[in-house]
A and B are shown apart, each in its own frame.
Chain A
Amino acid sequence: MRAALLAVGLLGAWELYARLGGVDDFLLPAPTDIAGALVDDRALLWDNLVVTGGEVLLGIAVSLIAGMACAAAVHLSTTLRRTVYPLLVASQTIPVVIVAPLLVAWFGYELAPKLAIIALICFFPVVVTTLDAMARVDPAALKLMRTLDASRLQAFRLVEARAALPGLFSGAKIAVAVAVIGAVLAEQAGSSEGLGHLLLQAVPQLETARAYAAVVLLSALALVLFGALALIERRALPWAFQPSGGTS
């Protein structure tokens, strides 16, 4: 209720500033103009939202699978922890803007370069949070597994892989927000569709309200995905939400 009031207040202030503040429409459209664009351009916006949403979903899926696999490998192998982990950290410093054109040159205008860019930026939070969750497993639990004659792989499958799931979800929630940015950057680097492409066209065409409408949809996409993940997590990992839960 208070959140809604705050939102209405902010939108009202924005509306007043845009109408009466003397700012050019092409720089800052009023909320009502953006709402108008959302309605008027709904077919165009929807088609592009479907494209971007698909890229984001697939990109997150790729990141989760690759992130989980990478976390497992780094967790189980000291050698990989020493060699691959620093590379992972370094990979995060690569500005996507720099490599995006290269990826487009390699993979073309199709889906592949978008997934690669989204995965490049989503992969890291997934690996780090998953790895941390694995590392938080009580060493005594692994000793116990050893005296139960569990092999290293069995212990991993029965204990660490399960204990890692809350970490995987945390990583996925972070990934959702950055995946949307990644998709926009990827589309701007080379695409003929998607909300990123729409943004790239709308701004020079002075369709600022339409560009803002696209931004609203991108935010909504991230919020919906975030909420869906939180919901799935609650259903799939009820034990992680208990006060004494977590990885004992």
Chain B
Amino acid sequence: MESTLVEAPETEPRQKSPAAGIELTGVRRVFPARPEPVVALDGMALRAAPGEIVGVVGPSGCGKSTLLELVCGLQEPDDGTVSSDPAVYMPQRDLLLPWLSALDNAALPLRVRGAARRQARDRARPRFAEFGLAGFEATRPHELSGGMRQRVAFLRTLLADKPVLALDEPFASLDALTRAEMQAWLAGALARDPRTVVLVTHDVEEAVLLADRVLVMSPRPGHVVEELEVVPERPRSRTDPRVVELRERALRALGVPEAAR
């Protein structure tokens, strides 16, 4: 019967029937350390509906990366529950493999799933134009600009074909101009190919520009101190008064003094 729910193996996320998005409740995560254990997260909650983009901002060391690793199943919570559709992790550094061409780097998830090299390339190649990478298929990562490397990494993330993307400060290593370009580009890419996204960033403006909802986290042990609904229309402008206002509210929630904003 069509209506019967079938639990597909985790390696084939696309066949998993009801989209559940992400739900974390009461999550606590403690790391053993000296002189005393570090509580990275405590009472952390996060919910993302399928297709929703949730921005997470917070001071350094508030457990943002731990949060993403929990979503991706790379860590288990010490307390609380984590449930998420299969998620793919996009680290801060692009982590492209230097011995592979841009095309082979992007096609890596397909290789992992068992595709032959040629088959994997044939599937990744048509996406290069859409990512502004046409003509750079054979180029090695070190010959690409920072923005291009990040786009290859993002294409690799998308080709993993998972409903959830866990983005860990994806543009932190880029210069301001490239970052602004990439933010606009990411908004476009996600509009064309919607996914459930957790976007961790220290850049409040980036979160407000890209996310549907922004969670502001406390210092360690991290939990949500403020939740902001963002204006629905896209693309958003940095100078839109509502964007500016949201940015101010997020910064206030982070405890940034007026003079420093």
Contact = CB atoms under 8 A, between A and B. Distances in A.
B236 interface: no
B74 interface: yes
Given A143-B69, A243-B142, A245-B142, A148 B98 contact: no
Contacts of A150: 112
Interface in A192-248: 237-240, 242-248
A140 B94 CA distance: 10
A141 to B, nearest CB: 5
B112 A140 contact: no
A4 B187 CA distance: 62
A216 to B, nearest CB: 39
Interface stretch (A109-117, A154-162, A167-175, A179-187): A154-162
Given A140-B91, A239-B140, A248-B93, A146 B74 contact: yes
Interface in B147-201: 160, 162, 166
B49 to A, nearest CB: 21
Interface in B98-145: 98-99, 108-109, 111-113, 140-142
Report whether over half of chain A's contact residues are helix, strand or loop; otherwise say mixed. helix
B108 to A, nearest CB: 7
Contacts, number: 75
A242 B99 CA distance: 10
Interface in B68-90: 69, 72-74, 87-90
A40 interface: no
B72 A147 contact: yes
B140 to A, nearest CB: 6
B10 interface: yes
Of the four ranges (under 10, 10 to 19, 20 to 34, 35 or more), the interface on chain A belongs to: 20 to 34
Contacts of B162: 147
A159 B108 CA distance: 11
Contacts of B89: 143-144, 147
B97 interface: yes
Given A143-B69, A248-B98, A149 B11 contact: yes
Nearest to B73: A147
A138 interface: yes
Contacts of B142: 239, 242-245
A148 B97 CA distance: 14
B95 interface: yes
Contacts of A141: 95, 97
Given A147-B160, A158-B111, A239 B99 contact: yes
A51 interface: no
B162 to A, nearest CB: 8
A18 interface: no
A148 B108 contact: yes
B72 A248 contact: no
A143 B75 CA distance: 10
Interface of B: 10-11, 69, 72-74, 87-99, 108-109, 111-113, 140-142, 160, 162, 166
